[in-house]
Structure 1
Amino acid sequence: MEEQGQRDPQIVLVPCPFQGHINPMLNLGSILHSKGFSITIAHTQFNSPKPSDNPDFVFLPISDGLSYSDLSSKGIVDFISCLNINCKEPLLESLTPMIDEKQQLKELPCIIYDEYMYFAEQVAHLLKLPSVILSTGSAANLLTYYAFPRLQKDGFIPFQDDMALDMVPELHPFRFKDLPFRFKDLPGASSENLDALSKLIASARDTRSSSAMILNSMEYLEQSSLIQLKQQCRIPLFSIGPLHKTAPAPSSSLVKEEASCMAWLDKQALNSVIYVSLGSMVSMDEKELTEMAWGLAHSKQPFLWVLKRGPPGSFHGSESTDSLPNGFKETIGNRGYIVNWAPQNEVLAHRAVGGFCSHCGWNSTLESISDGVPMICRPSFGDQRVNTRYICHVWRVGFELENDLSREEIEGAIKRLMTGKEGEELRQRAIDMKVKVESCIKKGGSSYNSLNELVDGLFSS
């Protein structure tokens, strides 16, 4: 019979069911499993990860009563609120038998939950379990959440259009247009009602009874923001990013990846390919798709383009190769490769990829920086604007497409990044950042040390 001291301590992970949140949570699970923890993934049935892709984990489904049509009709803010209402009791019911069994062995688990799945902390509190927050965005984005009440009180939110380029008081380096608070821009939003957004932001920044916060970031990248964040949240912070480089998880993609593009990349010249992927949440309309297609074609540059076909959580319908303009495929020949979804980590690490046209979600931002790939930024909503501001004006490894998408602007941006002198300078800065990021996760680096401190804390909890 196994002795009590030989049992692996247990961690229950509660991810938010969107691609950009599932990835870092499963990466964290892989890291902690490699450190000797037993991992249970308590996940919603909506957008549930595949147990077969992660055989080292135990999967615990939580009933949520929601569907893709609910996501489109409610909008993302109300949808997350419903998740927190609907999932609390099912998680409590699922964990109670486990706790009763572990109580006798004095082996109570710790719950690590996504900042937007705050119902998990309520369950942990009821069960007298320790809880830790995983923030899947940047420290800078979280700082804007802490600034939200002050800005709202001072009458800056909602801001007027003529204030868009004004600097935000006491929140360098942001302009008002860079803030993630524009409710009308959120997928599925139907009004300017800020009340629901205010409540979500308040819940996401509230540490409640949680004992610590984990961030998918690193001191080198966000030192100033992390210092300010420590003053704001007043619990220990563990910056252990980039998670995907520390212990890459097995596939966590909600959409089947098309690895065939890697063979095509193998045939392309060094730094010649522009990789285009605008995220998993918002699809382009027909006009934008047409302009993007001809911009890519006229740039004369090899490209790999992720063109989604009805992925989970898409709000604006599905993109499809059937929607491409007449004559486009004949014009590009073998110079372009189009997939429904790509193995992005492998793509960005490929020698042929010299630029990334991105929505600038935090995962994509970290992945691009970690592989030394400069960016063309096309943010849509939320923290994508925050990340874009840093990419373009703080780290200076990219530039933004700020106007309505036109084929001329897209063509010019691609040439600017891929063949111009500015592109060379951006690429060199990105490569320099890659080296410094790698040093953070090596022995003695800030993320390496922070991870060891986190593991020690979890073992003693």
Structure 2
Amino acid sequence: MGNEIKSPELQALQLNRLRALLSQNATKAMTEVRVAFANVLKRSSAIIVNSMEFLELEALSKVKQYFPAPIITIGPLHKLAPAICSSLLTEDDKCISWLNKQAPKSVIYVSFGSIVNFDKQELIEIAWGLSNSKQPFLWVVRPGMVRGSEWIESLPNGFEESVGERGCIVKWAPQKEVLAHAAVGGFWTHSGWNSTIESICEGVPMLCRPFFGDQHLNTSSICNVWKIGLELQNLERGNIERTIKRLMVDMEGNGIRKRAIDLKEKAAFYVMEEGSTSCSLNMLIKHILSV
């Protein structure tokens, strides 16, 4: 596949590396799901994508060569229909009061989505990495997210004392409101697609720690194509501390933040009344009526 890829954007996605990652842990069931999904796409009369064409222009052009159906980008859905994009878990909006007390762009928001799980030692490394970075943080620890723990009882001794009011831990957060808050300057994410799109729309740079599936591809887009984030290679406290500082404090983070703001402005233009998203929606309606 590498010989077929000529565009810089597709090369930056590191597709050969991603193919190796996906095949490394592929179960028979997962392989069957992928094959079934591809076959369904080939039989579809249209493919609707929660994205914006400017984000994935080269990739969409490549995909269109393999699927005869029109591919219609109508994202970001959470901006077009915010009322129907409700959370699966109960949101703790008390964290907004905590954010209101923090300096602009100072807070690293940490959330790994609704599915990811990890072990107690990884929790401990994340905790000390956040503490040692000296950055204010809002950390979502989902009940049951840490294997063998109900919630945060596995946090290391002395952690809460070392952090004090600089940290806020919640079971779930109103993510779209958090990302739009003036105090949030970075998002440590699992790189799920919904989180990625929400972060782009608010101009928040990302610290990426993918776990499985499309999260690896999304991370490549964030870090190598759009260059609005950094990948966290391993969950070791020293590495976590250094990477948070690179994003939030060091000069390197300035360019990342500027590019993130540029994408936010493009996304805002797309959802305007005469923007490309509206045109795509009209195209979708015409296509449905014609089928």
Query: TM-score, normalised on structure 2?
Result: 0.91
Q: 2-side partners of 1:306 and 1:375: how far apart?
A: 16
Letter in 1 for 2:229: G
SS in structure 2 at match of 1:233: coil
- Select 2:32's aligned residue among 162, 177, 199: 199
Shift of 1:175: 4.5
Q: 1-side partners of 2:188 and 2:227: how far apart?
A: 15
- The answer for the alignment partner of 1:234 in structure 2 is 68
- The answer for the alignment partner of 1:372 in structure 2 is 203
Compared CA separation, residues 451 and 289, structure 1 to 2 (3 A): same
Show the 5 A alignment for 1:309-388. Answer: 309-310=143-144, 316-318=147-149, 320-388=151-219
- The answer for the alignment partner of 1:413 in structure 2 is 243
Q: Which shifted more, 245-254 or 439-448?
A: 245-254
Shift of 1:225: 1.2
Q: 2-side partners of 1:429 and 1:205: how far apart?
A: 33
SS in structure 1 at match of 2:66: helix
SS in structure 1 at match of 2:83: coil
| Runs of 5+ unmatched residues, structure 2 | none
Letter in 2 for 1:444: E
> Identity of counterpart residues, as a percentage?
51
Q: Is the 8 A contact 1:354 1:374 kept in 2?
A: yes
Q: 2-side partners of 1:175 and 1:457: how far apart?
A: 32
Letter in 2 for 1:452: N
Q: 2-side partners of 1:391 and 1:243: how far apart?
A: 19
Letter in 2 for 1:349: A
Residues 1:453 and 2:287 are matched in the alignment: no
Q: Is the 8 A contact 1:266 1:352 kept in 2?
A: yes
Shift of 1:455: 2.1
**Alpha carbon RMSD of aligned pairs, Å?**
1.9
Superposed CA offset, 1:298-345 (max 9, x none): 1111000011112xxx69455622111111111111110001111111
- The answer for the alignment partner of 2:265 in structure 1 is 435
Q: 1-side partners of 2:226 and 2:133: how far apart?
A: 26
- The answer for the alignment partner of 1:264 in structure 2 is 98
- The answer for the alignment partner of 1:76 in structure 2 is none
Q: Which shifted more, 200-209 or 419-428?
A: 200-209
Query: TM-score, normalised on structure 1?
Result: 0.59
Compared CA separation, residues 339 and 169, structure 1 to 2 (3 A): farther
Superposed CA offset, 1:247-281 (max 9, x none): 21345322211111111111111000000111221
- The answer for the alignment partner of 2:127 in structure 1 is 293
- Select 1:282's aligned residue among 113, 116, 126: 116
Letter in 1 for 2:33: L
SS in structure 2 at match of 1:333: helix
SS in structure 1 at match of 2:132: helix
Shift of 1:182: 3.5
Shift of 1:459: 4.2
RCO higher in structure (CA 8 A, sep ≥6):
2
Q: 1-side partners of 2:88 and 2:36: how far apart?
A: 26
Compared CA separation, residues 211 and 315, structure 1 to 2 (3 A): farther
Q: 2-side partners of 1:228 and 1:317: how far apart?
A: 44
Q: Is the 8 A contact 1:276 1:304 kept in 2?
A: yes
Compared CA separation, residues 318 and 253, structure 1 to 2 (3 A): farther
Letter in 2 for 1:201: R
* Structure with greater Cα Rg: 1
- The answer for the alignment partner of 1:181 in structure 2 is 22
SS in structure 1 at match of 2:82: coil
Q: 1-side partners of 2:211 and 2:286: how far apart?
A: 39
- Select 2:252's aligned residue among 405, 418, 422: 422
Show the 5 A alignment for 1:1-400. Answer: 168-171=2-5, 172-173=10-11, 174-179=14-19, 181-182=22-23, 184=25, 193=27, 195-206=28-39, 207=41, 209-250=43-84, 252-310=86-144, 316-318=147-149, 320-400=151-231
Shift of 1:233: 0.9
Q: 2-side partners of 1:394 and 1:210: how far apart?
A: 29
Compared CA separation, residues 248 and 443, structure 1 to 2 (3 A): same
SS in structure 2 at match of 1:267: coil
Compared CA separation, residues 299 and 417, structure 1 to 2 (3 A): same
Compared CA separation, residues 379 and 169, structure 1 to 2 (3 A): farther
Q: Is the 8 A contact 2:185 2:248 kept in 1?
A: yes
Q: Is the 8 A contact 1:272 1:418 kept in 2?
A: yes
Compared CA separation, residues 315 and 236, structure 1 to 2 (3 A): farther
Shift of 1:375: 0.7
Q: 2-side partners of 1:381 and 1:239: how far apart?
A: 24
